[in-house]
Amino acid sequence: MENTGMSPGDREKETPTPSVIEMSPEYPRYRDSLIKVVFIVILVIVVGGAYFITRGKGPSLEKLKRSPSEFFSRLILGGDIYEACGSFVRTNQNLFRPLGQNVRLIPVRQEVSIINRTKTARVVFKVDGSKNIDKLYFSLEKKEGKWQVTSVKSKTVRGEYKRIYPLKSKGGVRM
């Protein structure tokens, strides 16, 4: 035990040192309200700015209501990916006959990556209106500034995967 030159009675008379909480200054009562007001003002400015940016584009807000994931993906990534997938489906309707009539493709997930200066994307669509096929998986590559579909696979309701494109022929891959 250390010899501090104090008797046990002197130690009891010592004034306790204040804790960190006691030493911190008191904040004004209106601080929490001020933080909430500033947050709301910033939120209103962001929403107002988004409105003024899209004000001339009335249908774009309808697209937001219809498919939020597709809308924000188009906003961030330019939207060329979904257009490439949609035009591929329209031009190659014979490949997508097993889907049935009046089907709708709903984007579920999208991944974009850049490997060795090559931009690639993978998009998953849920197929709405088909009895046999549950999801479509598109792989795309950006060539000369445009997205091109490199492969399409489908997943059936039973969990089986089937390649739709590219088709294999006797002489190799047909594109």
In this prediction, residue 114 carries a pLDDT of 87
Give tens-digit pLDDT for 84-95. 998 898 898 888
In this prediction, residue 173 carries a pLDDT of 44
pTM of the prediction? 0.55
Could you tell me the residue ranges of all domains in the chain?
Answer: 66-174
CATH of 66-174, one of 3.40.50, 3.30.70, 2.30.30, 3.10.450: 3.10.450
What stretches in the chain show pLDDT beneath 50? 171-175
- DSSP labels, the chain: ----S--HHHHHHSPPPPPHHHHSPPPPTTHHHHHHHHHHHHHHHHHHHHHHHHTT-HHHHHHHHH-HHHHHHHHHH-SHHHHHHHHHHHHTTTTTGGG-SS-EEEEEEEEEEEETTEEEEEEEEEEES-SSEEEEEEEEEEETTEEEEEEEEEEETTS-EEEEESEEETTEEE-
